[in-house]
Amino acid sequence: MSVLNNLMGRGVIPPVVHGVLDYALAAVLLVLPFVLGFDDAAATWIAFAIGIGAAVLAVGTAWSTGIVRVIPPLLHGYADLAVLAALIVLPFIVGFWDDTTALVFYLIVGAGGLVATLATRFEPRTPVESRMMLRPAA
C-alpha cells in the first residue's frame, strides 16, 4: 500500500485541477448517456449511478474544490481507480458490449479518467490536508 501511496503523490496534475475535472466527470456520467441514447438501459442507469457517486466524491473530498471536505484525498484517488477500472470492464461483465455507443463511452471515460487519476498529485499541501491523508497500517 505504501508503494501505491507514493505513486499517488507524484503526479503532475495538481489537486485543484483534478477537483474541477471531478465535477466535469460527474456531469458527463449523469447527462451524456441520455443525450447519446444508449440502446441498453443498464448502460444508461449504471453510468447515471456512477455519476451520482462521482458528484458525491467531488463535493465531499477534502481539497479546495470540495464543499463538505470529509473524504481524504488519497481515499478519493483509490475510489477513482476502482470505479474507473470498473467502467472499462462493465460493458463485458454486464453484457452491453454490442451497444457500440455505450461501449465506446465507457472505454473512453474509464481510460481517460484512469490516466487523469494516475497523473494527479494526491499529496497534502497544508497541515490540515496532511491530517486527512490515509496512513499505512502499523
According to the model, what pLDDT value does residue 127 have?
Answer: 57
Q: Looking at the chain, how many residues does it have?
A: 138
| Any domain includes 96 | yes
Helix axes 15-36, 100-118, angle to 10 degrees: 180
> Does 137 fall in a domain?
no
pLDDT at 5: 72
CA atoms within 13 A on the CB side of 83: 24
In a domain, 99, yes or no: yes
What residues make up the domain containing 94?
Answer: 8-131
Give me the helices (H) in 1-138, please.
2-8, 15-36, 41-60, 73-90, 100-118, 127-131
Q: pTM, whole model, 2 decimals?
A: 0.85
Q: Is residue 62 part of a domain?
A: yes
Indicate left, alpha or beta for 122 from its phi (over 0: left) and psi (-120 to 50: alpha): beta
Residue 1, in any domain of the structure: no
Determine the pLDDT at residue 3: 74
C-alpha cell at 94: 454486464
Q: Is residue 44 part of a domain?
A: yes
Block means of pLDDT (10 residues each) for the chain, 138 residues, are 72 93 98 97 98 97 93 93 97 97 98 96 63 56
Q: How many domains does the chain have?
A: 1
Q: Is residue 73 part of a domain?
A: yes
Instruction: Look up residue 21 and give its three cell numbers.
Output: 475535472
Task: With respect to residue 2, please indicate whether it lies within any of the assigned structural domains.
Answer: no
